Chains A and B, each alone.
Chain A
Amino acid sequence: MLQSKSFVKKTKQGRLVKVVREHYLRDDIYCGALSCTSCDTSAARLSPPDSASIIIVDTNVVLNQIDLLENPGIDNVVVLFVVLEEVKNKNLAVYNRLKSLCSNSARKFFVFSNEHHRDTYVKEMVGESPNDRNDRAIRVAARWYQSHLGGQANVLLITNDKENRRKAVEEGLSAETVESYVRSLGRPDLLDLVALPNSQDLNMADVEDLRPSKRKLVYIEHKPISEITTGLVRGIFHQGKLRVNRYNPFEAYVGSESIGDEIVIYGRSNMNRAFDGDTVAVELLSQEQWQEAKSSIVADDDEDEEEDVHLVPNSADDAPRNSDPAQIASGALNPVSSRPSGRVVGIIKRNWHSYCGSLEPMPMPAGNGGIAHALFVSKDRRIPKIRIQTRQLGNLLDKRIIVAVDSWDCLSRYPSGHYVRTIGEIGDRDTESEVVLIENDINSRPFSAQVLACLPPLPWTFSPEDLANPNRQDLRHVRVFSVDPPGCKDIDDALHCTPLPNGNFEVGVHIADVTNFVHPGTSLDEEAAQRGTSVYLVEKRIDMLPKPLTEDICSLRSDVERLAFSVLWEMTPSADIISTRYTKSVIKSCAALSYVEAQARMDDSRLMDSLTTDLRNLNSLAKIMRQRRLERGALTLASAEVKFQIDTETHDPLDIGMYQIREANQMIEEFMLAANVSVAEKILSHFPLCSLLRRHPSPTKEMLEPLLRTAAAVGLDLDVSSSKALANSLDHAVGDDPYFNKLIRILATRCMTQAVYFCSGDLSRSEFYHYGLATPLYTHFTSPIRRYADVIVHRLLAAALGISTLPPVFQDGPQLTSIADNLNYRHRNAQMASRASVELHTLIYFRKRPTDTEARIVKIRANGFIVFVPKFGIEGPVYLMRRGEKNGEWMVDEVHQKVTKPGTNITYAVLQTVKIHMEVVEPQPNRPKLELTLL
């Protein structure tokens, strides 16, 4: 029991009370140099080679140059505790990166607790600002290192703070800027990683160099923080998070609590250098300015590239908002938008991170090897182009790279940033797949040793002890089977259907008992909670849980005993539920069928075996349940999901086609829905405040507008007052051609919002409604192997049944809310990644296969129209005239949604069938894109 040798008491001044805290100073803190003779070197990390130095970094270096520090080229770094604390207070994201650097045993980063060391603790002097005190503490620590290590190693202080550097040199320390230090390493590739100094940090001489008089202001200057704070208090400014429209980077929204509505920001100049995700202060524009702001986008978009061919949207969140430039230019619609419009006056908190993309093609600058200024274009269209400096332009032009943003002053049209790393060649499938993962913030790293340590010993087998548990029922004698897509290895669910003597059926849905293996608070659980969901790309799957669990221990494979969580109903032949029971169980599936196999069995009238009979019974029950659901107003929305056939060797797509939905799919879906609803009711009745549920908000009038407009153009009247009314009118929407109804449903799908997870304590009961399924309560219970929400619901259900206690996290409302938010974020990203992966493979597929096909017009544009290609599930623009030509020859009729060539009878109207040619072209080197042209 060590006690510190001496201590001083540090006093912090609070609001009213004087708080006295002890602060122990010690003499058992070591320097961390392996060569040190006076210290305990058991935890030492630093071992600079002869010529190199031990470097001590200033806070500003960590905050601005974390990309550089993360490069293995920089090592033997001392991170002072005072720096660690300052970074933590200023930027949590950087702090976390620094933390993982310091705990990475492969790197030589050492944390020195200077604040607790007897010789390096610095007391604040009278009149000294905390900043100056911390700078002094850094210098004192640097001096201690210098004298402590004597001649054994050089100690170098790295700081970009001029004043600190000057004082350090005065005090006899060696101090350098980041730039000069990196230059001295003789590694030009590292120089690209150095963040450019913020223009505010430049001294007067540098600014004069830029001749500000010659440069004009591109953006209005941000208001100082003090003015923003008072403005917010007085209600002149409104604070909120800026969200840029994914499909129109010139339009952004700020959800403001103070006016309870979204403020729309039109155009880059009104966004005033704010990035997506930044917390900003917004000033409202007057009503007259709204329209002006809106039309300014058109003038602003000269840099905008043409729209790409993309997958058919599955919901409103995937689809462009209804304000494409064509409509705005025509100005006929929405003469005055109902939503307030505003302008960003200041940025309260930046959300800058690194972005994936490529450099804009440019000629090599004269004098090769010199510094080139290049423009980086992010794959994420919401991010503006970023100016970077590079010494390896020739290397980077055909690569996907990652770039981080450093600064954006009001004199520059684009922000400045620096190169971080190269992913690979543009167009290469592996590179592009990695880009998809990075862009969607998907963790595809292998599971860590700690996570794998939480797995049960392998190979796992069912043991009789599992049966000794009184809460676990032995259902091995029951004829259970599973139906999944072909080749499915992670089987979450299985079913059974046993006729009862009274003529009813016992129907069971058995779900993999994942929570029997994933315990709350373990690394395994934390990792799964972070990942949130498995991600399905065309050529691979990124698992939420390690493979032994997903493909073996939890997977309800046939002919092996598996643990399950079961929902058991007694149902009448007319599918009325008489009773519901929930239990943990042991099952032994007798068959793992594919949808095709199940369907074939049901259709083959010669087969009369018991398994087939079970299938047929289930199917007839499912049909009744489905019919009932539709009568309640559940929507049958059509999706245009495509399926690739992938070459097992090259992983290139061989064939592409629509995903066929069979009766067997619908049958399984119906029972999963029923199980989810039953579980939702059960957990909510036990835990009204902390249940995790899933809701689907009704679409707003505004969101349905594109559908109504299209329907009106073809003379169809849709009733959208409720989901039931909409379902009815969709049923009656039959045209001359058989595909018409499906097309309308596809168009309706994209108007819906996505369903979201939420914590039942956060909303009122009426908001729990699931619009698409027309059910008052819904949750996810049936896929715990690949969705974390289901894991949470399993724990809730187990607690509701008294099988286990509720983990403490469920008592923490805000924590639950943030878990639900993370699940929504991960879920959304997983979907985006899947879509991007399909788009990528579509491009690869058509690269060698120019194709002629039929397409349907879904939207009229000023210079052409958007077509939907049913066979491949994609949509994209077809241009009637080249870019730049303003709508000269063609007349656009917005009301009837058609374009006509004056003087002829050539007309294209919405929903019309056209023949198109699809081909991959490369308008710029290394930038392949799929082009649709009219035949």
Chain B
Amino acid sequence: MEFVNPLTGFRLDGRRPNEMRHIRGEIGVVANADGSAMFEMGNTKVIAAVYGPREVQNKSQQLSNQALVQCEYSMANFSTGDRMRRPKGDRRSTEISLVIRQSLEASVLTHLMPRSQIDIFVQVLQADGGTRSACINAATMALADAGIPMCDLVTSCSAGYLCTTPLLDLNYVEDSAGGPDVTVGLLAKMDKVTLLQMDAKLPMDIFENVMQLAIEGCKAVAQYIHEVLLENTKQLESRRGK
């Protein structure tokens, strides 16, 4: 299938290979959480809520020198077209929970909050490819909203390789083509990779191009999140000033 039209150079949804879908982020969407955010990448829509830092509930898990970060990922039954009921805690969710936790832990200054616990809940409301990345982006915003100390923003974006072209931010159709799909998590300002996943084989030189594209995507997401947070702070400021 022609995922990139050879004559026009456009992808099926009208994007160019190096273009991301529309992204939109909003914080403070769940009133009773310490921090929360909603993040959209095209039709993929994810909500994240953060509780903490608070006391560790299960004392045996308590860490004396740093905070315990926990993450729970789930997918709403209505998030995909088939509206299938899905079991909680299946392999895939467990894996994604772990991935999100690990890549975010790299930014949280856990040593400042010993013997405490931070819980991150992410739920996919609408799935159209790139859910992993959207979850990380939403969680980052929620952490910032909760005022958790972080050294940098972790943002994420994926890139794939179809029709011998590196493609940024695959949507569901492109994702289901079964080609290589590289998801990158990045500490944008520090230029440090916190997550790198790929389930396929790619020649080294092509892989580097694809990964570089995903990194560019992460930087663009970081730029956007930064603006949203800044705008929010400005509003808070002006409200306080009144």
Contacts and interface: CB of A to CB of B under 8 A. Distances in A.
B15 A81 contact: no
Interface in B90-116: none
A17 interface: yes
A115 to B, nearest CB: 7
Interface string B48-79: 00000000000000000000000000000000
Interface stretch (A21-29, A506-514, A874-882): A21-29
Contacts of A2: 16, 19
Given A2-B19, A81-B8, A111-B7, A24 B14 contact: yes
A642 interface: no
Contacts of B42: 22
Nearest to B82: A17
Residue with the greatest number of chain B CB neighbours at <10 A, chosen from A25, A103, A113: A113
B113 to A, nearest CB: 36
A1 B7 contact: no
A14 B18 contact: no
Nearest to B171: A22
B14 A84 contact: no
Contact of B8 (A7, A25, A113): A113
Contacts of A148: none
A23 B18 contact: no
Contact of A19 (B6, B7, B81, B216): B81
Interface string A1-37: 1111001010000101111111111100000000000
Nearest to A20: B43
B13 A24 contact: yes
A103 B9 CA distance: 12
Contacts of A17: 81-82
A26 B13 CA distance: 11
A102 interface: yes
A99 interface: yes
A623 interface: no
Contacts of B216: 1
Contacts of A81: 5, 8
Given A1-B220, A21-B173, A22-B42, A103 B18 contact: no
Categorize the interface residue count of chain B.
20 to 34
Given A102-B7, A111-B8, A1 B18 contact: yes
Contacts of A22: 13, 21-22, 42-43, 128, 171
Interface string B3-29: 001111010111110111110000000
A113 B10 contact: yes
A22 B22 CA distance: 10
Contacts of A9: 43
Contacts of B21: 22
B162 to A, nearest CB: 14
Contact of A4 (B8, B14, B81, B128): B14
A927 to B, nearest CB: 44
Interface in A59-109: 79, 81, 84, 99, 102-103
A21 B21 CA distance: 12
Residue with the greatest number of chain B CB neighbours at <10 A, chosen from A1, A19, A23: A1
A222 interface: no
B14 A116 contact: yes
Contacts of B217: 1
Nearest to B216: A1
Residue with the greatest number of chain A CB neighbours at <10 A, chosen from B15, B42, B43, B173: B15
B7 A4 contact: no
Interface in B193-242: 216-217, 220
A3 B217 CA distance: 12
Interface string A846-860: 000000000000000
A24 B14 CA distance: 5
A787 B3 CA distance: 33
A9 B42 CA distance: 10
Categorize the interface residue count of chain A.
20 to 34
A681 B149 CA distance: 66
A99 B7 contact: yes
A3 to B, nearest CB: 6
B178 to A, nearest CB: 11
Contacts of B6: 99, 103
Nearest to A7: B22
20 contacts: A1-B216, A3-B19, A3-B22, A4-B19, A16-B82, A21-B12, A21-B13, A21-B173, A22-B13, A22-B43, A22-B171, A23-B13, A24-B13, A26-B14, A81-B5, A81-B8, A103-B6, A115-B14, A116-B10, A116-B14
A902 B118 CA distance: 112
Contacts of A102: 7
Nearest to A9: B43
B22 A4 contact: yes
Contacts of B5: 81, 84, 113
B180 to A, nearest CB: 12
Given A3-B20, A21-B12, A24-B13, 9 more contacts: A2-B16, A4-B22, A7-B14, A20-B43, A22-B21, A24-B14, A25-B14, A84-B5, A111-B7
Contacts of A16: 82
Contacts of B12: 21
Contacts of A14: 81
Contact of A1 (B14, B19, B173): B19
Nearest to A19: B81
Nearest to A2: B19
A814 to B, nearest CB: 14
A3 B21 CA distance: 7
Contact of A84 (B7, B81, B171, B173): B7
A24 B7 CA distance: 18
A103 B13 contact: no
A21 B5 CA distance: 17
Nearest to A117: B14
A20 B8 contact: no
B15 A24 contact: yes
A76 B135 CA distance: 49
Nearest to B42: A22
B14 to A, nearest CB: 4
Contacts of A111: 7-8
Contacts of B18: 1
Contacts of B82: 16-17
Nearest to B13: A22
Nearest to A16: B82
A1 B20 contact: yes
Residue with the greatest number of chain B CB neighbours at <10 A, chosen from A9, A22, A26: A22
Nearest to A18: B81
A22 B128 CA distance: 10
A84 B6 CA distance: 11
A641 B21 CA distance: 65
Residue with the greatest number of chain A CB neighbours at <10 A, chosen from B8, B81, B173: B8
Contacts of A115: 14
B54 to A, nearest CB: 38
Contacts of B171: 21-22
Interface string A113-124: 101100000000
Contacts of A3: 19-20, 22
Nearest to B173: A21
Contact of B15 (A4, A19, A20, A84): A4
Contacts of A99: 6-7
Closest 3 CB pairs of A and B: A17-B81, A24-B14, A116-B14
B81 A23 contact: no
Contacts of B43: 9, 20-22
B25 to A, nearest CB: 14
A18 B126 CA distance: 13
B215 to A, nearest CB: 12
Contacts of B14: 4, 7, 23-26, 113, 115-116
Interface string A347-383: 0000000000000000000000000000000000000
A3 B168 CA distance: 12
A18 B78 CA distance: 12
A7 B14 CA distance: 10
Contacts of A1: 18-20, 216-217, 220
